[in-house]
Structure formats: structure tokens, C-alpha cells
Copies of this chain bind each other. A is one copy, B any other.
């Protein structure tokens, strides 16, 4: 596995892969790689001749008071995980290489960037879409893989890539979970043992919602109220949102309608903020109201 730190070198390498007719797969990460990332790298591996994994803790997507400084970093361990998972190139630039002094260019998807996560994390998605646009230009991928755990991020990256005409296919890979259902996240290490146990309530609430909708419930309000009870029993420090959404538009829905709905939640335990979501297929047949 090749490790590259410079933009110019990465870009020249990507261009040479393209000239050789090789298909490039990209997996952008912030490091602290876990099995979720491994699944993304494997998904890229299955669709590409060359897999580029990027590790960059992107300062522009962290707000004031968020965990940019303490975000877990372990370059040596990450290199081993990435190589083992099938990466050919690891691109690990320094911050000044990506954001030189006087940097002022941003890519923003309006409207959907400011709801849900965007409401609690102003400018977060502007930072995400900017760094991803930059990484597309630097690594010239044919296909790029993102995780469904960050559902709103995946939605916005897909929209950005389409609307700026990036010639890249966006793949969204399923959430990888611990045995007890907790979605894998680099931020799970912030949880103490007690919080870690209570954090399983996120997945339980989503499974509850799924079973309710699958059995015919069509009222988003009723489903979200039930989820709120389950989450509240786990004594979170805060429930940021419980939202039923259209996967096509990311707008909130009042009624579950075919073909599918997305339920997304953000909950805090102590100072640790966790997100999770589920896509629920909705059948045409209404069995209850």
C-alpha cells in the first residue's frame, strides 16, 4: 500500500491510474477506522481496480465546541486496517495542504444542509461537501463509497456530486452494528460503560419503529412518540431529533407512504452525540391506520 501526503502527488497518481484505464474507488474517512470503514473499503474494492482511502480529520465540518481536537487519531493503526481491508493507496494530507492560508472557497447544498444534523451543527455539511468535492478533484474516482450511518451526509454528497456534474458513482453501504445493535462509530469510544449500555436504545427504538410500520402503522407522529418513550427510558442527556423522512427529498413526512421511509435520530449520552437511522420499506397495502 502506497501512502501519499501531498495533493499534487495524489492527483498525478490518480491521473496516471486513469490513463492506464484503471477504475478508481474512493473511500473518504476521518481515520479511527472500524469495521464500518472496512465494509466501505471492501465495497470499493469490489467495484474498482485501485482503492484510495483518505484519512483527514476535516476541521471545516466541526463547529466551535465540538470534538475536533479530541477526535480519535491513530495513523499507524489505521494504516494497518486500511491495507488489510484492501486499500492500494492511503492519502493522508496535513491540514495546511488541504486548507492553505486564505482559503475561502466552499461548496454548499442549500436547504437540506440546514435541517436535522444541520440544525444542531451549523456549517457542518458545508464543510463536508467542500472536503468531498476537493477529494473528488484530487483522487479522480470513478466510484466513491459512503456509509448509510450518516444518512443525511450521504444524501447531500450524492446531490452535490450530481449537481456539480462530478463524473463519479456514489455508493452508500449499509450500517455495520455491534452484536447488541449499536451502530459502529469512531465516537463510540467516548461512551463510558454505563452510557454504552444505554446507547443500545437507539437501535431498539429504530427496530420498534420498523415493527410498528411493518404491522401497518402509517402515522409518523405515533411512531416517533413511541420511539421517544423508548429513548427516554434510557435517560439520554438530550434527544436532538426523531424524524420520519422521505429518502428521496429528505423532507419530513406525516404519513408513511410507499415505497419507503427513513427514520433518523440523534441522541446524546453525557457529552457524546450519537446518530442512527433505518430505512423501512412501505408496502402498498394498508393493514391499519
Interface of A toward B, CB cutoff 8 Å: 7, 11, 15, 18-19, 21, 100, 103-112, 129-130, 133-134, 137-138, 140, 159-160, 163-167
Chain B residues within an 8 Å CB radius of A21: 19
B134 near A164: Cβ-Cβ < 8 Å? yes
A105 near B163: Cβ-Cβ < 8 Å? yes
Q: Looking at A133, A137, A165, which has the most chain B CB atoms within 10 Å of its CB?
A: A165
By beta carbon, the residue of chain B nearest A126 is: B108
Give 20 A-B contacts (CB < 8 Å), ordered by A residue: A7-B165, A18-B18, A19-B21, A100-B163, A104-B110, A104-B111, A104-B159, A105-B107, A105-B108, A105-B109, A105-B129, A105-B159, A105-B163, A106-B107, A106-B108, A107-B133, A130-B164, A133-B164, A134-B164, A138-B165
Q: For the complex of A and B, list the 5 residue pairs with the smallest distance between their C-beta atoms, beginning with the closest.
A: A105-B163, A137-B165, A104-B110, A105-B109, A138-B165
Chain B residues within an 8 Å CB radius of A164: 105, 107, 130, 133-134, 137
A58 to chain B, nearest CB (A): 14
Q: Looking at A11, A106, A112, A130, which has the most chain B CB atoms within 10 Å of its CB?
A: A106
